[in-house]
Structure 1
Amino acid sequence: RVDPDTGEMLLSGAGELHVEVTVEKLAREGIDVVLGKPMVLLREQMTTDGTTCTAGGGKVSQFSVKAVITPDEETVRGLGSVLDSDTRSGCYLVDATRTVNPFRDEAEPIHEAFSALVESGPVSGERLRKITIIIEQLGLRVESPETSWRDVTQPLLDAARKSMMTGKPIVLEPWIHLEISTPEEHVGTITAIVSKRQGRVLEIDSERTLYRVRAEIPVRESFGLATEIRTSTSGWATWGARAGGYRRVGASANEQTFT
């Protein structure tokens, strides 16, 4: 993607291995790439549907909303009018009353509330994933455009965050799947590296003179992995990586995966 402030073209990937392979491909095409310090992007997600919560009232707007784990898109659209969405994160804002026109000025502070909610979850301020906010009842009151945040945006945010907290939200971190091909004498070394990095070996099979090790590790444990594999096997091992879903931060390899 292109950074709107600097005009730089930014490259990201599912872990260091993914980025390294892509950078090597770009280098062969004569494209220079500057690598920055690795970052792991965390996410917040509910583990169960929330309950209906209400906020606001009196001199400001009142909202009764329910936060649920996002179902399939067809089901979402059956819940009411979709006022806003962030398909990249699987988040939706639905008006079950079907009374808000998303294209009128009155909807602008509602859009602002949804954007703020998606960007900063209630647990630790991480970006949300796969959460749908359903407006079940509302009473809009806006004194002027200058007070729209106080009158509309804040009450909707408060109600949505209350409902999300009843859905037992957790902070998630990404994992990656590895497929490593290596001669037999280095299989033990590879499995030890995976274990040391809090991952687990899923399968080992042989293909002609090579063994293929399939494993998974947290992305945060993948930094420096390429160098360690290369050094430990004297360059004999080759590998590939792909996204492996999300797990609760600090979870063991046997815990639930959120795809």
Structure 2
Amino acid sequence: MGSEDQFYGVIDLVEGRSFTFDEEGNMTEGGVPDEFMEEFEIRRSEMIEKIAEQDDNLLEKFLLEEDISQEELKAAIRTVTISNKVVPVLCGTALKNKCVQPLLDAIGEYLPSPLDVPPVEGVKPGTDDVIARDASNDEPFAALAFKTVTDPFIGRLVYFRVYSGSAKSGTSVLNTVTGDRERLGRIVKMHADQREDVEEVFAGEIAAAIGLKDTTTGETISSIQDPILLEKIEFPDPVVSVAIEPKARVDQDKLSDALVKLSDEDPTFTINYNDETGQTVMSGMGELHLEILTERMKREFKIEANVGKPRVAFRETIRKTTTAEGKFIRQSGGHGQYGHVIIEMEPLKRGEGVQFENRIRGGSIPIEFISSVEDGVRGALKNGPKSGFPVIDLLVRLIDGTYHDVDSSKVSFEIAGSMATRTAIDRCSPVVLEPVMKLEVVTPEDYLGEVIGDLGRRRAGVESIDAQGDTQIVKASLPLAESFGYANDLRSITQGRAGYSMEFEKYLEAPESVVEAQAT
């Protein structure tokens, strides 16, 4: 009921109730207002028809025009939701605390409980043996850490979801990713900003633990006697970097501490220290991501910081296959240095990363030096010849070499591997790759032309334009280098009425003009 700044409530099509809210977010329940009754009947009939198409029991009653009770309708919605045939939609605004209550009720009524989904599957650590665990307290304990936060009062909190079994506070558990034993010091259930201490958690529950010092987001904790490794959450690599420094030099230690805590909470946020420039560099998934983290430092840690211009995380790759040789020979009295390798290098498909393959036969290079050659290869690939960014998506194959009984060492073969790799890259026509983002813009139809024009100026490739009433949804691929400042520009050209979401999609070859601009 109402729209935009005049929005004041909703009507529940299932129960036939209205929920209205004042400016303070206080909710009042009531019946369907007379002025909305006709539209309510039409929309409710449409909803029941859509649900009946997916539920045979409801379909029969619908066709015979029999009354359908609220309980039957809710049961049907729950069934088709759990089977992924429909998605219930509710509207509201968390900012003004409007319609949050009906949303929480709908989560409880329609979404699956742990008993409604198949048993979770994992593997036995160190093997490929698949293990299934039911959501039962009788099964061995298994949980997945899905969030890490720093609480100003009680310290580091690790949120976890129990998939099977139970665990008491003080229990020792195994982190099956790192192999370390941890102790569940305290277990608390979080209710917004309120904490409830509990002695034990059971299958299907979500809780937070104090005392898991080395467990991070995406890692599995399980029973020590019956370990299991659940599917790990994969996080994309950061694509944008900025230099950051405190406005006041006395805040340097506080800044470092804040960055470490934020990176612990967010696996897509990384920090490193550039020895050449003496700068602290933070990297994330986009301009907005880093802006939010900078604002959090100011709000939560009371640190004012200067942030540099965003820098895109380019990559390099090769286009040809070649063979190269690396020789490192030094003689200066006593033991010298001798390392000699021959490698083949060939391009791989996007996303396949860097692969190393040992094809040495007959002992031309002793086995103890092979890992050193690989270290030299991977070290050389960290800085490409065109942009200085890492080289990716290629295969390096060690095919031959020679060694000296006295002078050969791990260091000499590492240097020889690095020399051969740099020579090979130069011969393979290296190219610079730029990160491309998947972009979705939701805009009123009146501004569609301006949005499309602006995307064209940013080298974006529009993939589809879909209409939903008076709203247009534009899906496009946008080079990250062209996305800086997009939030402000989009607000400007649409008078603040359009919104967008953006996530990393892939790496594509960058135009020469972009490469030259990066070099300057």
TM-score clears 0.5:
yes
Instruction: Determine whether 1:143 maps to 2:415.
Output: no
- Where do 4+ consecutive residues of structure 1 move more than 4 Å? 17-20, 22-27, 29-36, 98-102
Counterpart residue number, 1:69: 347
Match of 1:55 in 2: 326
Partner of 1:207: 468
> 1:106-255 to 2 correspondence within 5 Å?
106-107=369-370, 109-141=372-404, 143=407, 149=411, 151-250=412-511
User: Who is 1:40 aligned against?
Assistant: 312
Check 1:204–1:18 CA distance in 2 against 1; reply closer, same or farther (3 A cut): farther
CA distance in 2, matches of 1:168, 1:32: 49
Task: Give the distance between the partners of 2:498 and 2:484, measured in 1 at CA.
Answer: 17
Structure-1 separation of matches of 2:354 and 2:302: 36
> Is the Cα contact below 8 Å between 2:381 and 2:421 reproduced in 1?
no
Contact 1:66 1:160 in 2 (8 A): no
CA contact (8 A) 1:14 1:241 kept: no
Question: What is the aligned partner in structure 2 of residue 81 from structure 1?
Answer: none
**Structure label with greater radius of gyration:** 2
Specify which structure has the bigger relative contact order, considering alpha-carbon pairs within 8 angstroms and separated by 6 or more residues. 1
Structural mapping, 1:85-100, within 5 Å: 90-97=353-360
Structure 1 residues 169 and 199, CA, compared in 2 at 3 Å: closer, same or farther? Answer: same
Range that drifts further, 217-226 or 153-162: 153-162
Q: Structure 2: which amino acid aligns with 1:95?
A: N
Rounded to whole Å, the distance in 2 between the matches of 1:161 and 1:220 is 27
CA contact (8 A) 2:358 2:370 kept: no
Percent of paired sites with the same residue: 24
Q: 1:38 offset after TM fit, Å? A: 1.3
Question: Does the CA contact (< 8 Å) of 1:43 and 1:172 recur in 2?
Answer: yes
1:251–1:58: structure 2 CA closer, same or farther, 3 Å change rule? closer
Deviation at 1:36, TM superposition (A): 5.2
Give the Å deviation of 1:129.
1.0
Check the 8 A contact 1:17/1:241 in 2, yes or no.
no
Decide whether the 8 Å contact of 2:326 with 2:341 is kept in 1: yes
**8 Å Cα contact 2:341-2:401 kept in structure 1:** yes
Aligned pair count? 226
Q: Is the 2:315–2:434 Cα contact (8 Å) retained in structure 1?
A: yes
Displacement of 1:92: 2.2
In structure 1, C-alpha distance between the alignment counterparts of 2:511 and 2:466, rounded to whole Å: 29
- With over 3 angstroms needed to count, the CA separation of the structure-2 counterparts of 1:152 and 1:125, relative to structure 1, is same
Q: Deviations over 1:18-61 (max 9, x none)?
A: 656x759979x97889665311011110123x222223176622
* Residue pair 2:342, 2:401 contacting (<8 A) in 1 also: yes
Answer yes or no: is the 8 Å Cα contact 2:442–2:499 preserved in 1: yes
Change (3 A) 1:32 1:132: farther
Give the TM-score taking structure 2 as reference length.
0.38
Tell whether the 8 Å contact from 2:285 to 2:504 is kept in structure 1 after alignment.
yes
State the 1:249 CA deviation.
2.1
Distance 2:300 2:446 in 1: 36
Distance 1:127 1:182, change over 3 A: same
CA gap 1:217/1:143 in 2 versus in 1, 3 angstroms: same
1:240 Cα deviation from its structure 2 partner: 0.8
SS in 2 for 1:143: coil
SS in 2 for 1:175: strand
Give the whole-Å Cα distance in 2 for the aligned partners of 1:144 and 1:160: 19
Q: Please give the per-residue CA displacement for 1:39-87, whole angstroms capped at 9, x wherever unaligned.
A: 1011110123x22222317662211101122369xxxxxxxxxxxxxxx
Q: Deviations over 1:80-123 (max 9, x none)?
A: xxxxxxxx981122211165787x4x456424413321211233
Matches within 5 A, 1:13-32: 13-17=284-288
SS state at 1:128 partner? coil
Distance change (3 Å), C-alpha of 1:199 and 1:122 = same
SS in 2 for 1:52: strand
Deviates more, 1:33-42 or 1:226-235: 33-42
Higher mean C-alpha displacement, 199-208 vs 90-99: 90-99
Cα separation, 1, equivalents of 2:494 and 2:348 = 44
- Alpha-carbon distance in 1 for matches of 2:284, 2:466: 27
Pair 70,31 (structure 1): closer, same or farther in 2 beyond 3 Å: farther
Q: What corresponds to 2:516 in structure 1? A: none
Report if the CA contact (8 A) 2:377-2:421 is conserved: no
Q: Is the 8 A contact 1:15 1:176 kept in 2?
A: no
List per-residue Cα deviations over 1:100-150 (Å, max 9, x = no partner): 787x4x4564244133212112333220111221100122346376xx54x
TM-score by length of 1: 0.72
Secondary structure of the equivalent of 1:163? helix
- SS where residue 381 of structure 2 aligns? helix
Q: 1:158 to 1:57 in 2, by over 3 A?
A: closer
